[in-house]
Amino acid sequence: MSLTPWWRGAVTYQIYPRSFLDSDGDGVGDLPGIYSRLDYIAGLGVDAIWISPFFKSPMADFGYDIADYRAVDPLFGSLEDFDRIVERAHGLGLKLMIDQVLSHTSAEHAWFKESRESRDNPKADWYVWADAKADGSPPNNWLSIFGGVAWTWEPRRGQYYLHNFLSSQPDLNFHNPEVRAAALDNLRFWLARGVDGLRLDAINFCFHDRLLRDNPPKPEALRTGRGFSADNPYAFQYHWYNNTQPGNLEFLQELRALLDEFPDVAALGEISSEDSLATTAEYTAAGRLHMGYSFELLTADFSAGHIRRTVTELEAQLSEGWPCWAISNHDVVRVASRWGGANPPPTLAPMLSALVSSLRGSVCVYQGEELGLTEAELPFEALQDPYGIAFWPSFKGRDGCRTPMPWDPSPDAGFTSGKPWLPVSEDHRALAVSVQEAQADSCLQHFRRFLAWRRGQPALRWGAVQMLDTPEPVLAFLREHEGQSLLCAFNLGAEAVDLSLALAGEAQVLEGHGLAGGAFSGGRLRLPGHGVLFARLS
């Protein structure tokens, strides 16, 4: 095993299995489809893959509502299909991470079916149950991220149960040590099958306030949540009591002790709290998670100032922790549209991939990001996401970033021989893998060239970071590792820039990264629109 763990500085490729590749013609992507494209993924130059949930589920939230943590849903294939992926990925030099959703289950899970039957069965205390108030209303004012009250009445028990997400996603009671033990045992099942890491969904939602105290109201000017619609009442509260509780820290230590039984594995926690940067620092302290993943760069704010502030604030709070950055995933508008508008220029996506891969930390790249895919526009009748259906038309949900991966320019983009579960975007067919493979200057080819170049730059993979004070739209910082100092500069705008940048020593501009490069001499930094510069300082 190398002195540097594989996950430090790693680039991980996120696969949303429903939309990656369908092997059997039912219109839904599956594990055999993933297996058939592992060579493509390895050829991108990434270090690992992360597969979103493929477990047995009624699919109310498309796999994030798990009915059996140890079974592959037949929609996606079999356990043998998964084992083949593990073996093939490892043979290609890829590490494999899987999603784990610990805070809640599906209402179809056997645990919940038993728990809901009575107040005195063996699983009675495995979920968060509470009596109604005297007037029959829910026990407190907690709200669901997906809209409305976070409590649903269960007539069998004559009580309410908590669900921070859909009503069909009841929250487990992690105050119960039996629940924690069962959750860890499920993780052990997958670690024993050879997975190299766990991406822990909504990990700060495992514990709730035992006293069920009301969340306080949030002033209207501060109702700007990450990952949910601006008109969602969830934004009207400070979420001090329904998540991010002190008990979670002890559980993370229990989880880390389990991980430490297996060689060279890692845990990446998704964190969305009232102060996600502070929580990330706390959750990645010694003996807890290896990495933290939050929504700070998944917002609409595309400014050098925002990125600089985010990195600076997190670095100031981290101790042993290691950040993980992402600018797209399966829950937010694709970055090419979010930061590039309705018609993003082709120079934008390659620059953004280079930028996020140059920050200190590890990186998660969402499928299609290497192609520069934009957000797909879908009519209401094509929507599948319950979140989008509930909040239409002010918020269109998450289907626009989940449409099928385009492999070729055919009508169904080489994704399926049947009817795709979401329509293929016409715009995406022109950006298909086979199309970009034939273009020397495509987004795909830029992506590959940059990651190949990055592998030879230890400062970008493991170095410390120092953000520099530059005017908009330029983001610049230093990466330093073992006596080497590397200047990284990015023009977030479409117009060329020329500015003064005072740095000590001489600068050797580096080539070979395959992007629109800039110049630096005599204290002047020059960058073309969406250009980059890497220079070694001496």
* pLDDT at site 28: 98
**pLDDT, tens only, 332-388:** 999 999 999 999 999 999 999 999 999 999 999 999 999 999 999 999 999 999 999
Domain topology for 11-105+177-454: TIM Barrel (3.20.20)
- Rounded-to-integer distance, Cα 312 and Cα 318, Å: 10
Residue with tokens 């385009």: 406
CATH T-level topology, domain 463-537: Immunoglobulin-like (2.60.40)
pLDDT reading at 234 higher than 50: yes
User: Is the pLDDT score of 60 beyond 80?
Assistant: yes
What is the side-by-side order of every strand in the sheet holding 474-481? 464-467, 474-481, 484-491, 532-537, 507-509
Both tokens of 319, joined, read: 């101790």
473 cis-preceded (ω within 30 degrees of 0): yes
Query: What is the three-state SS of 107-140?
Result: CCCHHHHHHCCCCCCCCCCCECEECCCCCCCCCC
The fraction of the chain above a pLDDT of 90, given in percent, is 93
Residue written as tokens 């002190």? 246
pLDDT at 202 over 50: yes
Domain locations in the chain?
11-105+177-454, 463-537
Burial 498-507 (b: 16+ CB within 10 A, else e): eeebebeeeb
Query: Using 50, 70 and 90 to split pLDDT, how confident is the model at 229?
Result: low
Please determine, for residue 505, whether its predicted confidence score (pLDDT) is greater than 80.
no
Whether 440 has a pLDDT exceeding 70, the answer reads yes
Contact assessment for residue 44 and residue 370, using Cβ atoms and an 8 Å cutoff: yes
Average pLDDT, the chain: 96
Q: Are 351 and 488 in contact (CB under 8 A)?
A: no
Q: What is the pLDDT of residues 243-281, one digit of tens each?
A: 999 999 999 999 999 999 999 999 999 999 999 999 999
- Cα-based angle 398, 388, 21 (whole degrees, multiple of 5): 35
pLDDT band (50, 70, 90) for residue 228: low
Burial of 321 (0-12, 13-18, 19+ CB in 10 A): buried
SS (H, E, C) 171-214: EECCCCHHHHHHHHHHHHHHHCCCCCEEEEECHHHCCCCCCCCC
Would you state the pLDDT for residue 1?
Answer: 38
Output DSSP code: residue 517. Answer: B
CA distance 157 to 124: 9
Q: What is the pTM of this model?
A: 0.97
Closest Cα to residue 529, out of 301, 305, 348, 338?
A: 348
Instruction: Work out the pLDDT band at 224, boundaries 50, 70, 90.
Output: confident
* pLDDT tier at 227, thresholds 50, 70, 90: low
Residues designated as active site: 201, 261
Strands (E), 16-119: 48-51, 55-56, 68-72, 95-101
Q: Per-residue pLDDT averaged across 68-88, rounded?
A: 98
Nearest to 190 by CA among 86, 61, 95: 86
pLDDT at 55 over 90: yes
Task: Identify whether the C-beta of residue 473 lies closer than 8 Å to the C-beta of residue 491.
Answer: yes
